[in-house]
C-alpha cells in the first residue's frame, strides 16, 4: 500500500491527478483504497487501475494533440499555398509589365533603326552629291586654268607684238 504522494510520483502525475482518479473511479477502486490515520493509501491493484486510466488518458490526449497538430499543419500548408499563389500572381503581374516594357522598347528600337536607315541613305545621297560637285568643280577649274593660260598667252603675244612696233 502506498500513499497518494508516492502513487503520484510512481505514475509521474500530480497528487491532484491521483485524487481526481480516486473520485472518478471511486466505485472501481473502493476495494483497493483505505484511510489509515487520516491518510489515504492505495493497494498495488488500485495503483495499476489508475495507471491504466492515466495511460489511456495520455494516449487520448496525444491523439487529440496529433489531430490538432495535423489540423494546424494542414492550415499552415493552406496558408503557405495561399502565400505562394499570391506571390505567383504578383510575379506574373511583374512579368506582364516587363513584357509590355520590352515590347515598347523593341518598337522604339525598330523606329530608331528605320530613322537611322533613312539618315544613312541621306548620307549616301549627300556623299554622291559631294562627289558630283567635286567633279564639276575640278572640270570648271581645269577649264578656268585653260582659259587663263590662253588669256595669258594672248597677253604675252600682245606684249611681244607691242614691243616690236
> Domain residues of the chain, as ranges?
2-164
pLDDT at position 54 over 80? yes
pLDDT band for position 29 (cuts 50, 70, 90):
confident
pLDDT tens per residue across span 113-140:
999 999 999 999 999 999 999 999 889 8
pLDDT level of residue 55 (50, 70, 90 thresholds): confident
Alpha-carbon distance values, 140 to 71, 75, 131, 137, 145 (Å): 101, 96, 14, 5, 8
Write out pLDDT tens, residues 137-150. Answer: 889 888 877 777 77
Going by pLDDT thresholds of 50, 70 and 90, the confidence category of residue 64 is low
d(C-alpha 34, C-alpha 57), whole Å: 25
Question: Do the Cβ atoms of 1 and 41 come closer than 8 Å?
Answer: yes
Q: Rounded to whole angstroms, what are the CA distances from 106 to 86, 94, 97, 111? A: 30, 18, 14, 9
CA–CA distance, 118 with 105 (Å, rounded to integer)? 20
Q: Is 15 exposed, middle or buried (0-12, 13-18, 19+ CB in 10 A)?
A: middle
DSSP character at residue 13: S
pLDDT value of residue 118:
97
Please tell me the predicted confidence (pLDDT) of residue 164: 61
Written as nine digits, the cell of 15 is 497528487
- What is residue 36's predicted lDDT score, i.e. its pLDDT? 87
Mean predicted confidence (pLDDT) in 16-44:
90
Q: Which of 51-60, 105-114, 132-141, 147-156 reaches the highest mean pLDDT?
A: 105-114
Beta-carbon contacts of residue 14 (< 8 Å; ≥ 6 apart)? 8
So what's the pLDDT on residue 86?
92
The enclosing H or E element of 34 equals: strand 33-36
Amino acid at each position: 500500500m502506498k500513499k497518494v504522494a508516492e502513487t503520484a510520483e510512481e505514475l509521474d502525475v500530480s497528487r491532484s491527478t491521483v485524487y481526481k482518479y480516486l473520485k472518478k473511479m471511486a466505485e472501481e477502486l473502493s476495494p483497493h483504497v483505505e484511510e489509515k490515520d487520516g491518510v489515504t493509501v492505495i493497494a498495488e491493484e488500485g495503483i495499476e487501475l489508475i495507471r491504466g486510466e492515466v495511460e489511456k488518458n495520455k494516449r487520448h490526449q496525444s491523439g487529440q494533440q496529433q489531430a490538432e497538430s495535423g489540423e494546424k499543419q494542414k492550415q499552415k500548408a493552406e496558408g503557405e499555398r495561399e502565400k505562394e499563389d499570391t506571390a505567383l500572381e504578383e510575379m506574373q503581374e511583374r512579368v506582364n509589365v516587363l513584357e509590355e516594357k520590352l515590347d515598347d522598347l523593341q518598337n522604339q528600337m525598330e523606329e530608331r533603326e528605320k530613322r537611322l536607315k533613312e539618315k544613312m541613305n541621306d548620307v549616301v545621297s549627300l556623299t554622291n552629291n559631294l562627289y558630283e560637285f567635286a567633279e564639276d568643280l575640278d572640270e570648271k577649274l581645269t577649264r578656268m586654268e585653260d582659259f587663263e593660260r590662253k588669256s595669258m598667252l594672248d597677253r604675252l603675244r600682245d606684249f611681244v607684238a607691242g614691243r616690236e612696233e
